[in-house]
Amino acid sequence: MGNLNFIDKLPHISECKQILKAAAMLDAILMPEWEYRYYSYNSQWDTNEQMASMRDGQGDHYFAIFSPNGLIIKGFDKEYTLQHKVDRSEVVKSVPAAFNTFLAEPAFVIDQTTFCIWSVADQERWSAGTVLGDHEYELLEILVGGAKYYHAWAQDYYEIVLDIKLVEQVFDMKPIDEVLLQQLNDELRLSDIEGEIAEIGYPDKDLKV
């Protein structure tokens, strides 16, 4: 299957933002030690830019930037590079000029890129630099599977039993209060994650969803 079979399933930019914020918020609660988290989100990355990322500790990763120009995501699948020769220049050659600053950002290790996709603001369409099979976008499955995907993944990754209804509340952007927090991690208090809530830009208890 070509890449369009997968990327055409991807949601609108605003929904992608909500999904990645929720995943980062849940990771911050389930895994207080930042270096062991899988998903992260910085709503104050730069002026008018928000950044989401994923790192699995084994080399696989993605970086995503939300900006007035739209959303661009680049990822690196280590296993894919062991099976295929990757020409990074081919992967990113079709990226619109509006995203040039993303490609020039050292923190995003563009040299390690196996896929790059983007959605220009105000367009209901996703584009990709090269044609890949659906499996090569596995790192982005959370954008398609949402709360259900995160729930299954987190139970396996963190080796915990997790109530999917709690996960759904976070994916619905329900403000975190002491009750919800205690149900997710009874070792934390709201004061412990105030910094993460602010950095992620997740709704707090004083904001409406």
Please report the pLDDT score of residue 208 as a whole number.
42
Per-residue pLDDT tens over the stretch 52-101: 999 988 889 999 999 999 999 999 988 777 666 767 777 888 899 999 99
What's the N-to-C CA distance of the chain in angstroms?
A: 38
Q: Please, which residues have CB within 8 angstroms of residue 82's CB and are 6 or more apart in sequence? A: none
User: What pLDDT shows up at residue 6?
Assistant: 87
62 vs 126, 139, 160, 168, 186, CA distance in Å?
A: 17, 8, 25, 23, 30
Side-chain half-sphere exposure of 72, counting CA atoms within 13 A: 25
Decide: 30 and 166 in contact? Cβ < 8 Å: no
Q: In which band, very low, low, confident or very high, does the pLDDT at 207 lie, cut at 50, 70 and 90?
A: very low
- Strands of the sheet with 61-67, listed across from one edge: 39-46, 49-55, 61-67, 70-76, 115-120, 127-128
Across the range 5-20, mean pLDDT stands at 94
Please indicate whether residue 83 or residue 152 has the higher confidence score (pLDDT): 152
Does the pTM of the predicted model rise above 0.85? yes
Mean pLDDT (whole number) for 144-171 = 97
By mean pLDDT, which of 65-74, 96-105, 116-125, 200-209 is the weakest? 200-209
Average pLDDT, the chain: 90
Give the whole-number percent of the chain exceeding pLDDT 70.
Answer: 93
User: Crossing angle for the helix pair 13-30 and 164-171, nearest 10 degrees?
Assistant: 130
Average pLDDT over residues 166-172: 98
pLDDT, residue 1, reads 36
- Mean pLDDT value across residues 144-152: 97
Q: What is the pLDDT of residue 186?
A: 94
Residue 172 burial (C-beta neighbours within 10 Å; 0-12, 13-18, 19+): exposed
